[in-house]
Amino acid sequence: MIDLRSDTMTLPSEGMRDAMRDAKLGDDVWQEDPTVRELEALSAERMGHEAGLFVPSGSMANLIAQLVHAGRGDEVICGWDSHCVRDEVGAGAALAGVQYEMIPGDGRYTVEQVAERIRPRTFHTPGTGLVWLENTHNLGGGTVFPLAEIRKIAAACRERDVPLHLDGARVFHAAVAEGVDVREIARCFTSMSFCLSKALGAPVGSVLCGSRDFRERALRFRKMLGGGMRQSGVLAAAGLYALRRNVERLAEDHANARRLAELLAGTRGVTVDPAAVQTNIVMIGVAGDAPELVRKLDARGVQGWPPDARRIRFVTHLGVDRAAIERAASIIREVLGA
Ligand SMILES: Cc1ncc(COP(=O)(O)O)c(C=O)c1O
């Protein structure tokens, strides 16, 4: 099987498993796990923020950020196809009590689109609690939010005293694609998160970064949501290993994704623009029923994921090398072009 459903499908390497076995541990609910402390400190340092908080998942990081910044009934300005809108079971509405003011498009918006949506709390209007960006954008096809626009949005939010949060599940991909230090992106935000389990090869975990005060408030919500973990240094050790060894190699995944798109371009019934592939996600349009085509591909040993009836997503990661990509492309061409 060549598994291109998601970059979360990676398994920990031998070296990562050794690091997990050898980790120094303590009770992290008591803030006494030295390996978790080390991961949080390294994450904050890499992102240029004061503090980090290890959380079990990207979804929990997103929910905590909304709980910290936005009150019940507040609006969160975000892209209509954001992960927090589409794929987190309505947690923002159900548990944080926010409503989304959604910007149409591919997840990359302008400062003007944000500014015209920011509104005060009055006796009629909900008021903007938070502005949200996702970079890279998952359902947009791994697209990179241009740094120049992020800086303008950050300035507009600062001027209006509205917090700006980054769902940076794949922010390292954005940094590698733009050729900048990830800190350049991360420090534009009041708070941000990144995932250790998406293409970095760790089995579990995300880190929220922000000010010390943000961390204090986030810590209480993590506990409230049942996300306080005990000897979680076994997981943080995998995260440290991933951060130290698996970031630079993301360029390989990007090149593999671009290659896959190039090999699929021109296939009958497939729409794909290789030049639009910026990172490790290839989103193709298909003429037939996408879930049915995915089942056919599966039977031939290639796995993809259909986000809707007309698209299939393929994601490259450290478990798939160039030879596997070329094999996958020829199978996909045969099945979809038939
Ligand atoms: C952009 C983005 N944010 C958040 C998440 C949620 O992460 P998790 O699956 O760890 O909850 C994902 C998962 O794919 C994602 O792609």
Q: How far is the CA of 173 from the centre of ligand 1 (A)?
A: 14
Q: Is residue 266 domain-resident?
A: yes
Residues 127 and 275 in one domain: no
pLDDT exceeds cutoff 90 at 22? yes
| Contact by Cβ (8 Å): 100, 92 | yes
Using the Cα atoms of residue 113, residue 116, residue 121 and residue 124 in order, give the sign of their dihedral: negative
When pLDDT is averaged across residues 253-265 and rounded to a whole number, the result is 98
For the four alpha carbons of 206, 215, 69 and 91, in that order, the dihedral sign comes to: positive
- Same structural domain for residues 218 and 266? no
pLDDT at 140: 94
The pair of structure tokens assigned to 255 is: 């090149």
The answer to whether residue 2 is domain-embedded is: no
Give the ligand 1 atom nearest the CA of 167: 3
In the chain, beta strands by DSSP E: 2-3, 51-55, 75-79, 99-103, 128-134, 164-168, 191-195, 206-210, 270-271, 281-286, 302-303, 305-308, 311-315
Instruction: Give the single-character DSSP code of 275.
Output: G
Name the domain count of the chain.
2
Q: Closest Cα to residue 131, out of 106, 160, 105, 104?
A: 160
Predicted pLDDT at 330:
97
Q: 323: domain CATH number?
A: 3.90.1150.10
The domain in which residue 325 lies consists of 249-336
Domain boundary among 245, 265, 291: 245
For residues 237 and 275, state if they share a domain: no
**Does residue 189 belong to any structural domain of this protein?**
yes
- Tell me what pLDDT residue 256 has: 98
Q: Ligand 1 pocket test: pick from 83, 139, 283 the residue with the most ligand atoms within 8 Å of its Cβ.
A: 83
208 and 67 assigned to the same domain: yes
Is the C-alpha dihedral spanning 171, 58, 109, 47 positive or negative? negative
Based on the fold, state whether residues 173 and 261 are members of the same structural domain.
Answer: no
| Binding site membership of 195 for ligand 1 (Cβ less than 6 Å) | yes
**Shared-domain flag, residues 225 and 257:** no
| Distance between Cα 137 and ligand 1 center (Å) | 10
8 A C-beta contact, residue 324 and residue 255: no
Output b/e per residue, 116-140; b: 16+ Cβ within 10 A. ebbbeeeeeebebbbbbbbbbbbbb
| CATH number of the domain that residue 105 is part of | 3.40.640.10
Residues 55 and 191 in one domain: yes
* Residue 108, amino acid: R
Q: Which atom of ligand 1 is nearest to the CA of 197?
A: 10
- Residue 58 Cβ contacting ligand 1 at under 6 Å: yes
For residue 190, the number of C-alpha atoms closer than 13 Å in the C-beta half-sphere is 24
Q: Is 7 in the pocket of ligand 1 (CB under 6 A)?
A: no
Question: Does 1 reside within a domain?
Answer: no
CA dihedral 19, 20, 22, 27 (to 10 degrees): 140
169 lines ligand 1 (CB under 6 A): yes
At 108, give phi and psi (nearest 5°). -110, 115
pTM (whole model) above 0.95: yes
Quick check: is 9 in a domain?
no
143 lines ligand 1 (CB under 6 A): no
Pairing outcome for strands 191-195 and 206-210 = antiparallel
Residue 331 scores a pLDDT above 80: yes
Query: For residue 134, which atom of ligand 1 is closest to its CA?
Result: 1
Cβ(59) – ligand 1 distance below 6 Å: yes
Cα maximum dimension of the chain: 61
Ligand 1 atom 5: residue of nearest CA: 58
Contacts of range 214-223, beta carbons closer than 8 Å, 24 or more positions apart: 214/51, 214/68, 214/190, 215/50, 215/51, 215/52, 215/53, 217/68, 218/53, 218/64, 218/65, 218/68, 218/191, 219/53, 221/63, 221/64, 221/67, 221/68, 222/53, 222/55, 222/60, 222/64, 223/29
- Tell whether 206 is covered by a domain: yes
Same domain? For 58 and 118 the reply is yes
Q: Which of 45, 319, 302 is nearest to 201 (CA)?
A: 319
* DSSP symbols for 43-62: HHHHHT-SEEEEES-HHHHH
Going from the Cα of 169 to the center of ligand 1, the distance in angstroms, rounded, reads 6
Q: What percent of the chain has pLDDT over 70?
A: 100
**Judgement on whether residues 315 and 218 belong to the same structural domain of the protein:** no
Q: Report pLDDT for 338.
A: 76
Is 134 a pocket residue for ligand 1 (Cβ < 6 Å)?
Answer: yes
Among protein residues, the one with the nearest Cα to ligand 1's atom 7 is: 58
3-state DSSP call for residue 308?
strand
| Residue whose CA lies nearest to ligand 1 atom number 4 | 58
Torsion 61-62-64-68 (CA) sign:
positive
pLDDT over 90 at 240, yes or no: yes
Residue 142 and residue 22 share a domain: yes
For residue 137, give the ligand 1 atom closest to its CA.
1
Nearest residue (CA) to ligand 1, atom 13: 58
Please give the distance, rounded to the nearest whole angstrom, from the Cα atom of residue 338 to the centre of ligand 1: 34
pLDDT (average), residues 119-129: 95
User: What are 177-201's pLDDT values in tens digits?
Assistant: 999 999 999 999 999 999 999 999 9
The residues that bridge with 55 in the sheet, in sequence order, are 206
Report residue 141's pLDDT band, with 50, 70 and 90 as the boundaries: very high
Ligand 1 within 6 A of 40 CB?
no
Nearest CA to ligand 1 atom 8: 58
Which residues lie closer than 8 Å to 295 by C-beta, 6 or more apart?
A: none
- Does residue 187 lie in a domain region? yes
* DSSP code for 266: T
Q: What separation in Å is there between the alpha carbon of 171 and the centre of ligand 1? A: 12
Residue 4 lies in a domain: no
Domain identity same for 200 and 315: no
- Kindly state whether residues 218 and 332 are assigned to the same domain: no
pLDDT tops 80 at residue 150: yes
Q: Among all chains, which residue has been given the structure tokens 């049942």? A: 226
The last residue of one of the domains, among 192, 223, 245, is: 245
Q: CA-to-CA distance for 193 and 167, rounded, in angstroms?
A: 6
Hey, which bits of 135-235 come out as E strands?
A: 164-168, 191-195, 206-210
Last residue of a domain, one of 193, 213, 245: 245
